[in-house]
Amino acid sequence: MPELPEVETTRRGIAPHCENRTITQVTVRDGRLRWPVPGNLAELLEGAVIHTVDRRAKYLLIGVSSATVAGSLIVHLGMSGSLRVITDQSEPLLHDHVELALDNGIRLRFNDPRRFGCWLWSETPDQHPLIASLGPEPLAPEFTGRMLYRLSRGKKTPVKSFIMDNHVVVGVGNIYANEALFKAGIHPRRAAGRISLDRYNRLVNAIRETLSAAILMGGTTLRDFVNSDGKPGYFAQSLLVYGRSGEFCPECGHPLKEIRMNQRSTVYCSKCQR
């Protein structure tokens, strides 16, 4: 599943082509996504101007307005979705379900083989049920070790599950949780309520470092993910522990172990992480 860095990479890739451009045509080839694409999407958007392409957690928020409407498209890539900037006359592929044609000749094309993504419309996206209860962004100033320390008091939840809870902080997916916990030296099964403020400060720094590096590298290479220019990300080549079970720890040389937590692969070093 595309995680926060993949979505941020997509946002940065499409924004320069879309912002301040007028939508000339909306084509919905198959609206049967995770939630149905609004039937009046073309009526809402054709003639409107895209002002912003923002991101909240793993949702892209495409802000548009016209003389009659103002709001945002809420786009989620789901399990296998991608947004591509089409500059030629290439024909749509089998799973190219939604397309926006812009006044600069570019088309923004949404491909989603598994159809777990979404295209929704909201005049108040911050209040939309998918957005309203989300925690802070992991790269925002309000995400701090003290915040994690305060929220974790009394919790027996494993710290890996705690930081992957979108109500606590958004965008720390499985791959990046593995990497950040390794960098911070924290065992993924340790109870969230038994971690000190100092260690949470280290964990926040590790989360920021890991996600920032992944964004710069274009996101983690996943089977179904492609950037908006069609090229995969390359961060997977520099992962320290995820996907490396049985290999030697890059810090101490001890073999890395793998366990399952909430049906997710969890790789750690039993000597470095306590």
Whether 264 is a known active-site residue: answer: yes
The answer to whether the annotation marks 17 as part of a ligand binding site is no
**Helix, strand, coil % over all residues of the chain, rounded to 5:** 25, 25, 50
Nearest alpha carbon to residue 51 among 75, 25, 19, 76: 19
CB 116 within 8 Å of CB 58 = no
CB 23 within 8 Å of CB 41 = no
Chain centroid, CA 156 distance in Å = 27
The answer to whether the annotation marks 155 as part of a ligand binding site is yes
Catalytic position from the list 2, 5, 138, 188: 2
Whether 46 is a known active-site residue: answer: no
Catalytic position from the list 55, 56, 58, 202: 58
Catalytic position from the list 3, 8, 99, 179: 3
Chain centroid, CA 51 distance in Å = 21
CB 18 within 8 Å of CB 102 = yes
**Whole-number Å distance between alpha carbons of 112 and 98:** 9
Catalytic position from the list 115, 189, 190, 264: 264
Whether 91 is a known active-site residue: answer: no
Whether 3 is a known active-site residue: answer: yes
* Phi, psi angle pair for 180, to nearest 5°: -70, -40
The answer to whether the annotation marks 114 as part of a ligand binding site is yes
Question: Across the beta sheet with 82-86, what order do the strands follow?
Answer: 82-86, 107-111, 96-102, 21-28, 49-56, 59-65, 70-76, 118-122
- Residues belonging to the binding site are 95, 114, 155
- Residues belonging to the binding site for DNA are 95, 114, 155
Q: Which residues are catalytic?
A: 2-3, 58, 264
